[in-house]
Amino acid sequence: MRVRELAEWLGATFEGDGEKELTAVAPLESAGAGDVAFVGTRKAAAAAESSSAGCLIVPMEWPSHSYHTVIRAVEPRTAFARAMNRFYPTVELAPGVHPTAVVGKDVEMGALVYIGPHAVVGDATRIGVAAAIHAGCVVGKRVSLGEGCVLHPNVTVYDNVDIGRGSVLHSGCVIGADGFGYVMEHERWHKFPQVGRVEIADFVEIGANSCVDRAALGVTSIGEGTKLDNMVHVGHNCRIGKHVVVAAQTGFSGGVVVEDYAVIGGQVGIGDKARIESRAVLGSGCGVLTSKIVRSGQTMWGTPARPLKQHLEQLANMAHVPEMRKEMLDMKRRLADLEREI
């Protein structure tokens, strides 16, 4: 593909050699003459001058005197992601049901559906147009899979789950397992029946080995465009809003509400019935206590989670503790010397 063609496809402008042939995408530091790279940060901008990339996707304000061939984009990283899709298109699957797959009764199946080897689809399930169920998946009864939905190998979807169009579930996901609900009676734990549902909206992506539990009563829901990393656990009756991003190994206890556009780092723990308001940010490893409300737009860190500025001040104070302890011991020694003199 030539630089000119890529720029036109991205809806962007270029400067330099528009006829240069491009064959792949690559990181800035290792890109060669036939590669496209992007400049998305100040650090990357500093390294760009020494890059051998054949073409750079750069911000709009990039200096015009650059000796590189460049494509200007409002969001270079986003444009680069689109370019990657052009160079590495998704492999087209031949529609059809593999002979080893097991499909139950009254299954509604749209056109161009793919069901892979040893997959199982339960009774009365609906599968949308061009959906793909890969090898070893188990899809329960009365499940709804939207148009273009993709279940990678060995995904398990329990009964009565709705998954929207364009959503992607990576290998090992378990959707709709029982929530962690028990009641104590006569000194023994007894299971509280988990009879609710799971609803996953359009264009959600859920990483490998993540779990979304069904509600005890009602619905556990994940909103449109939300992205969950690997090994994320969403407990029963949680409500995750639209376009939320959650990094790996984060756990949501039962009844947590996360509003739209929140950003949650890795290894975050969130207690029962906590509320994370819209566009709040939870830093990696922080802990949100039960019923805590994190206000809209706040950035929180630490355990228990507290505003970032307060967290940094406390860290700075902690750094002085050894010095303070030394001073305290010195003061005690001097006081003891004074007492002996008296």
Tell me the C-alpha distance between 329 and 322, whole Å: 11
DSSP at 81: H
Q: Greatest CA span in the chain, whole angstroms? A: 98
Yes or no: say if 177 and 195 are a contact pair by the CB < 8 Å rule: no
Bridge partners (DSSP) listed for residue 307: 300
Q: What is the CB neighbour count within 10 angstroms for residue 336? A: 10
Tell me the C-alpha distance between 210 and 213, whole Å: 10
Does the bond joining 99 to the residue before it have cis omega, within 30 degrees of 0?
no
Token pair recorded at residue 203: 């264009």
Q: What is the CB neighbour count within 10 angstroms for residue 327? A: 11
Q: Phi first, then psi: what are they for 114, rounded to 5°?
A: -120, 130
316: left (phi over 0), alpha (psi -120 to 50) or beta: alpha
Is 236 designated active site? yes
Tell me the C-alpha distance between 108 and 121, whole Å: 11
Tell me the C-alpha distance between 300 and 322, whole Å: 26
Q: What is the CB neighbour count within 10 angstroms for residue 80? A: 20
Tell me the C-alpha distance between 34 and 51, whole Å: 12
Token pair recorded at residue 260: 């739209």
Amino acid symbol at 163: I
* DSSP secondary structure string for all residues of 17-39: -TT-B--EE--TTT--TTEEEE-
**Residue 232: which of 271, 272, 194, 268 has the closest Cα?**
268
Tell me the C-alpha distance between 219 and 238, whole Å: 8
- Considering the candidates 233, 236, 243, 320, report the single residue annotated as catalytic: 236
Active site residues: 236
